[in-house]
């Protein structure tokens, strides 16, 4: 059983508390910090949190707690993590870990030097669908993963600080791309080095200094591609979808809109779901929001990992790699060229070769493709191993 100091009483602090206190969990928020004493008090009263404070230091130092959850705006992560590491507590930090890889690296060094547990709260790698899909991929269900497409798009964030790049670190890439990048990394393999990034980003809609749209390609050393698509101006709610394409199979995941619950209302629905744009007409509520977004499985892994003395599925090193990929994406959006992912601290494999998925057909030929045709015949496309010539062979129906 763990007692938690929660730093931040905004949207994500509330979701985290819902996930921890919503069922009969053992791990409890003991104290909540917010700049505003009223907001801290309101969260504490609603969720049965015994103590609240408007002092960050007081919340971290609370003698009843062993774990600090950082749920503050991006520019405050480093300060909070460094203070919590100094206090010797386990630290769980929301995404993105830093605004830049340099910031993330300093946080990683601080927790490792202090020898404290560190977890990166990347919930979308823990949704029940994602965990099931990852298990299937690891069993070989899709063969070698070639291409992962991950999309997060919504009409834009709910607080002023997100829109100020000096506080948030950027726009939709750092806010939403961080999820997509880590989802792709999980499917492609965390030991495979992300090599370079090509990214388009633009401010198409909002009067801001950051990007509200971006598409990026992350090329991994084994040839796999992670594609992220993000928008802060998508209309119709929150579009959260992933696709995994491999040599032997395909997985499509839809996490939010049209997940199985659909309701028509003339307008009495109240709150529908995170980032829902309307509460009238056909709407798409979610049965269990913290569960569907991965918060429940994420905290189960985090606290089990602390108890078992092992790293969690997502830790600060992962947050650092994600930040390094984001830095390369911003560099590429500016230069309009492929930009290298600068990882001064790489802990995965080196020199992974691109392995083509060639299959022998017979002693002389490789099989490129086979297809059953309209007339029932089987058409084979073959490549001669020595000459390289490509031929067709037709097998009768």
Minimum CB distance to ligand NAD smaller for 34 or for 105: 34
Minimum CB distance to ligand NAD smaller for 52 or for 365: 52
Among 5, 17, 31, 34, binds ligand NAD (CB under 6 A): 34
Q: What does the per-residue mask of binding to ligand NAD show for 88-127, with x meaning CB under 6 A? A: ------xx-------------------------x-x----
Residues 2 and 302: beta-carbon distance below 8 Å? no
| Rounded least distance, CB 151 to ligand NAD, Å | 15
Among 3, 10, 128, 366, binds ligand NAD (CB under 6 A): 10
Q: Using the rule CB under 6 A, give the single segment among 4-12, 83-91, 257-265, 332-340 that binds ligand NAD.
A: 4-12
Residue 161 in contact with ligand NAD, rule: CB under 6 A: yes
| Residue ranges in 40-99 that form contacts with ligand NAD under rule CB under 6 A | 71-74, 76, 94-95
| Rounded least distance, CB 183 to ligand NAD, Å | 12
Cα–Cα dist 82/110, whole Å: 6
Among 23, 35, 235, 359, binds ligand NAD (CB under 6 A): 35
Minimum CB distance to ligand NAD smaller for 136 or for 300: 300
- List strand residue ranges (DSSP E) for 111-222, in order: 118-121, 145-153, 194-202, 213-220
Residue 17 in contact with ligand NAD, rule: CB under 6 A: no
Residue 11 in contact with ligand NAD, rule: CB under 6 A: yes
CA dihedral 281, 158, 323, 330 (to 10 degrees): 80
End-to-end CA distance of the chain: 65
Which position has the token pair 């601080």?
110
Q: Using the rule CB under 6 A, give the single segment among 5-13, 126-134, 145-153, 198-206 that binds ligand NAD.
A: 5-13
Cα–Cα dist 381/34, whole Å: 65
Q: What would the DSSP string read from start to end of 281-334?
A: EEE---S-HHHHTTHHHHHHHHHHHHHHTS--SS-HHHHHHHHHHHHHHHHHHH
Among 55, 159, 204, 389, binds ligand NAD (CB under 6 A): 159
Minimum CB distance to ligand NAD smaller for 65 or for 94: 94
Residues 310 and 166: beta-carbon distance below 8 Å? no
Q: What are phi and psi of 337, to 5 degrees?
A: -125, 165
Q: Is 350 helix (H, G, I), strand (E, B) or coil?
A: coil
Q: Is 132 helix (H, G, I), strand (E, B) or coil?
A: helix
Burial label, 260 (beta-carbon count in 10 A; 0-12, 13-18, 19+): exposed
| Residue ranges in 333-372 that form contacts with ligand NAD under rule CB under 6 A | none
Among 4, 12, 49, 199, binds ligand NAD (CB under 6 A): 12
Which position has the token pair 């633009």?
202
Minimum CB distance to ligand NAD smaller for 35 or for 235: 35
- List strand residue ranges (DSSP E) for 100-184, in order: 118-121, 145-153
Among 2, 4, 5, 8, binds ligand NAD (CB under 6 A): 8
Residue 377 in contact with ligand NAD, rule: CB under 6 A: no
Burial label, 38 (beta-carbon count in 10 A; 0-12, 13-18, 19+): exposed
Residue 9 in contact with ligand NAD, rule: CB under 6 A: yes
Residues that bind ligand NAD (CB under 6 A): 8-13, 34-36, 39, 71-74, 76, 94-95, 121, 123, 159, 161
């Amino acid at each position: 059983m763990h007692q938690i100091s929660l730093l931040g009483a905004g949207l994500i602090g509330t979701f985290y508390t819902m996930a921890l206190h919503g069922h009969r969990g053992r791990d409890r928020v003991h104290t909540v910090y917010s700049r505003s004493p009223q907001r801290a008090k309101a969260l504490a009263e609603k969720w049965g949190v015994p103590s609240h404070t408007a002092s960050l230091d007081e919340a971290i130092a609370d003698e009843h707690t062993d774990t600090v959850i950082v749920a503050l705006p991006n520019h405050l992560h480093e300060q909070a993590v460094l203070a919590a590491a100094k206090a010797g507590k386990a630290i769980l930090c929301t995404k993105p870990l830093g605004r830049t890889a340099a910031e993330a690296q300093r946080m990683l060094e601080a927790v490792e030097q202090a020898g404290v547990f560190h977890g990166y709260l990347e919930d979308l790698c823990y949704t029940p669908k994602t965990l099931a899909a990852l298990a299937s991929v690891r069993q070989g269900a899709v063969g070698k993963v070639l291409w992962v497409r991950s999309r997060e798009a919504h009409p834009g964030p709910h607080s002023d600080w997100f829109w100020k790049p000096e506080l948030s670190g950027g726009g939709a890439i750092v806010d939403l791309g961080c999820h997509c990048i880590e989802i792709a990394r999980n499917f492609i393999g965390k030991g495979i080095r992300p090599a370079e990034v090509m990214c388009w980003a633009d401010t198409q809609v909002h009067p801001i200094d950051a990007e509200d749209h971006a598409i990026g390609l992350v090329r991994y050393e084994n040839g796999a591609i992670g594609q992220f698509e993000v928008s802060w101006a998508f209309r119709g709610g929150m579009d959260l979808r992933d696709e995994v394409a491999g040599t032997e199979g395909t997985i499509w995941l839809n996490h939010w809109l049209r997940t199985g619950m659909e309701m028509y209302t003339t307008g009495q629905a109240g709150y529908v779901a995170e980032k829902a744009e309307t509460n009238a007409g056909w709407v798409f509520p979610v049965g269990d929001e913290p569960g569907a977004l991965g918060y429940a499985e994420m905290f189960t892994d985090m606290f089990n990992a602390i108890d078992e003395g092992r790293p969690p599925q997502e830790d600060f090193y992962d947050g650092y790699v994600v930040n390094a990929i984001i830095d390369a994406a911003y560099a590429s959006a500016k230069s309009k060229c492929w930009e290298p992912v600068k990882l001064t601290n790489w802990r995965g494999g080196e020199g992974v070769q691109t392995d083509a998925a060639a299959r022998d057909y017979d002693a002389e030929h490789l099989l490129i493709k086979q297809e059953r045709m309209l007339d029932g015949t089987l058409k084979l496309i073959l490549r001669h191993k020595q000459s390289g010539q490509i031929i067709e062979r037709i097998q009768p129906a």
